[in-house]
Amino acid sequence: MGCTSSHSARVEDEIPKSQSVIRSAVLIQKWYRRYLARAEARRRCTWTIFQSIEYAGEQNQLKLYNFFNNMLSQMDTDALGQPKILRALSVSQRPVLIDTKTLEEEDNELLRLSDPDTIEVESTYRGVHLTFPLTQAQLQSLIKSFKTKQVLTPLNQAQLQSLIKSFKTKQPLHAKYLIQLLLETRAALKQKANINYATTSIAKQMTVCGDLHGKLDDLYMIFHKNGLPSVHNPYIFNGDFVDRGRNSVEIAVILFTCFLINKNEVYLNRGNHEDHVMNLRYGFVKELVKKYSMHAKRVIRLFEDVFSWLPIATIIDHKILVVHGGVSDSVDLNFLATIDRHKFLSILHPPRGENDTANLTDMQLREWKQVLDILWSDPRGQHGCHDNTFRGGGSYFGPDVTDYILSKHKLKRIIRSHECKPEGYEFCHNNKVLTIFSASNYYEEGSNKGAYVKLHGPDLEYQMVQYMSSKGANRKVTFAQRVTRVESSAIINLREKILGSKTELLEEFRKLDPEQTGKVNQYKWCSVMGCVLDMDLPWRTLRPKLARCDENGMVAYETTFEEMRIYHRYSGNGPTVTEMLYRQKDNLETLFRILDRDNSGQISMEEFEEVIQLLVKQQNMNCPLDQISDIARSIDLNHDGRIDFNEFLEAFRIVDSFGKFSEVQQQDLKSISSLDSIMTMKNCSFSMGTKRRISNLDDIKEYRP
Supply the DSSP symbol for 347.
Answer: T
- Taking CA atoms, 176 is separated from 129, 242, 298, 365, in Å, by 9, 21, 11, 38
Instruction: Using alpha carbons, select from 151, 161, 162, 168 the residue that is nearest to residue 129.
Output: 162
Amino acid letter, residue 705:
P
Residue 655 CA, distance from chain mean position: 27
Task: Report d(CA 219, CA 215) in Å as an integer.
Answer: 7
Sign, Cα dihedral of 353, 357, 363, 369: positive
DSSP labels, 567-634 = EETT--S-HHHHHHHHHTHHHHHHHHHHH-TT--SEEEHHHHHHHHHHHHHHTT----HHHHHHHHHH
Q: Give the list of residues 6+ apart from residue 284 with CB closer than 8 angstroms, or none.
A: 214, 242, 243, 248, 249, 273, 303
Task: Judge contact between 209 and 222, C-beta under 8 A.
Answer: yes
Instruction: Using alpha carbons, select from 535, 575, 527, 531 the residue that is nearest to residue 555.
Output: 527
146-185: burial string, b at 16+ Cβ within 10 Å, e else: beeeeebeeeebbbbbbbbbbbeeeebbbbbbbbbbbbbb
**Residue 273 annotated among the catalytic residues of the structure:** yes
Amino acid letter, residue 185:
T
User: Which region holds residue 343: left if phi is over 0, alpha if psi is between -120 and 50, else beta?
Assistant: alpha
DSSP labels, 225-276 = HH---BTTB-EEE-S--SSSSS-HHHHHHHHHHHHHH-TTTEEE---TTSSH
DSSP labels, 177-228 = HHHHHHHHHHHHHTTS-SEEEE--TTTSEEEEE-B-TT-HHHHHHHHHHH--
586-605: burial string, b at 16+ Cβ within 10 Å, e else: bbbbbbbbbbbeebebbbbb
DSSP labels, 57-72 = HHHHHHHHHHHHHHHG
Task: Judge contact between 90 and 135, C-beta under 8 A.
Answer: no
Element at 466 (helix H, strand E): strand 461-467
Which of 213, 273, 276, 568 is flagged as catalytic? 273
Instruction: Using alpha carbons, select from 107, 62, 159, 56 the residue that is nearest to residue 496.
Output: 56
Element at 48 (helix H, strand E): helix 2-71
- Taking CA atoms, 612 is separated from 496, 501, 591, in Å, by 21, 18, 10
Burial class of residue 565 in the structure, from the number of CB atoms within 10 Å of its CB (0-12 exposed, 13-18 middle, 19+ buried) = middle
Instruction: Using alpha carbons, select from 202, 398, 186, 392 the residue that is nearest to residue 278.
Output: 392
Total length of the chain = 705
Phi, psi of 653 (to 5 degrees): -135, 145
Sign, Cα dihedral of 87, 91, 95, 101: positive
Task: Report d(CA 379, CA 426) in Å as an integer.
Answer: 11
Task: Report d(CA 140, CA 481) in Å as an integer.
Answer: 40
Query: Which residues are tagged catalytic?
Result: 273
